[in-house]
Amino acid sequence: MRKILIPTDFSKNSWNAIKYATELFKYDHSEIYLLHAFADEVYDAKARLTEEIFDELQEKILEKSKEALEYFSNQIIKFSPNPKHKIHTIAEFGMLVDSVNDWVEKENIDVVVMGTKGQTEDKKLTFGSNTLQVIKYVKCPVLAIPSVYKDVHPKNILFPADFHLPYKRRELKLVSYIAKSFVSKINFLYVSKFTGLSLRQHDNKSFLEASFSENQIDFQQKKGSNVTKEINTFIIENPIDMLVMVNTRHSYLENILYQSTIEKIGLHIDIPFLVLQNLPR
């Protein structure tokens, strides 16, 4: 049984992510949790309200959120009447990252799916602030879907890897499942100034090969030190439908997320982006 958590702000971008998720996991028995955390909506108005009116506003937003979630739930059933899917709706007063983490822990969620951006559609940004926060701090795989992306049949998956750190078997199984469902090829890309691998790298590479023994895989190495440039080039030169990266201590992705922003370092992502969280859960 797959457990999928989809935070939504009821925007077109979040609806696109919902449709993508239901199609991506259409072959799997799944429980889909639609979550709307609305603390920000209430706090935005708190400074202007008395305590009594504030509590009344909170209750009104809760009821409005429940109605919107019920509408989205019904729309999913119309769009994808899949007997393998069971839909749950959650409206709660909470901050997004806290609420997502709580439900990931409570329900042992397999993957969080959300749009790369929500209500605010700033075309200059690859990711909205909420999506970046979830990618940074939620201890669960996060699949971010660009609003412009409609094709839900990944044929080629790019998985940059330096083989320095071990991987979580459970999270690799998620990638393997997606690849098997759509007969996808997984392209592993190693960017380094050095041609050889250490013993530890060989061990981690062997673990990847064993984990994806039922998939089509290909390992490529590009000589150089600019990982961002090589990822962008590979995506441009090849028909890549999904990018998979690992967020873990001292990883390339962690350096992007914590020291800068994806926009500043130039990682251009307009395809679904699956972040595996190799962090304590």
CATH code reported for the domain at 156-274: 3.40.50.620
Over residues 240-262, the pLDDT tens digits come to: 999 998 887 656 655 555 544 45
Rounded CA-CA distance 214/198 in Å is 26
Checking if the pLDDT of 155 tops 50, the result is yes
Tracing tokens 């397999």 back to the chain, one arrives at 110
pLDDT of the residue at 265? 42
Over residues 13-27, the pLDDT tens digits come to: 999 999 999 999 999
pLDDT range class, residue 264, cuts 50, 70, 90: very low
pLDDT of the residue at 120? 55
Architecture (CATH level 2) of domain 2-145: 3-Layer(aba) Sandwich (3.40)
Residue 83, burial from CB neighbour count under 10 angstroms (0-12, 13-18, 19+): exposed
Count of alpha carbons within 13 angstroms of residue 197, beta-carbon side: 18
**Angle, vertex CA 247, rays to CA 241 and CA 253, nearest 5:** 75
Tracing tokens 């013993």 back to the chain, one arrives at 199
User: Quick one: average pLDDT of 90-110?
Assistant: 95
Specify the pTM: 0.88
Q: Do domains 2-145 and 156-274 have the same CATH topology?
A: yes
Strands (E), the chain: 2-7, 30-37, 85-92, 111-115, 142-145, 156-160, 185-192, 216-223, 242-247, 273-277
Q: Which residue ranges make up each domain of the chain?
A: 2-145, 156-274
pLDDT range class, residue 187, cuts 50, 70, 90: very high
pLDDT of the residue at 150? 74
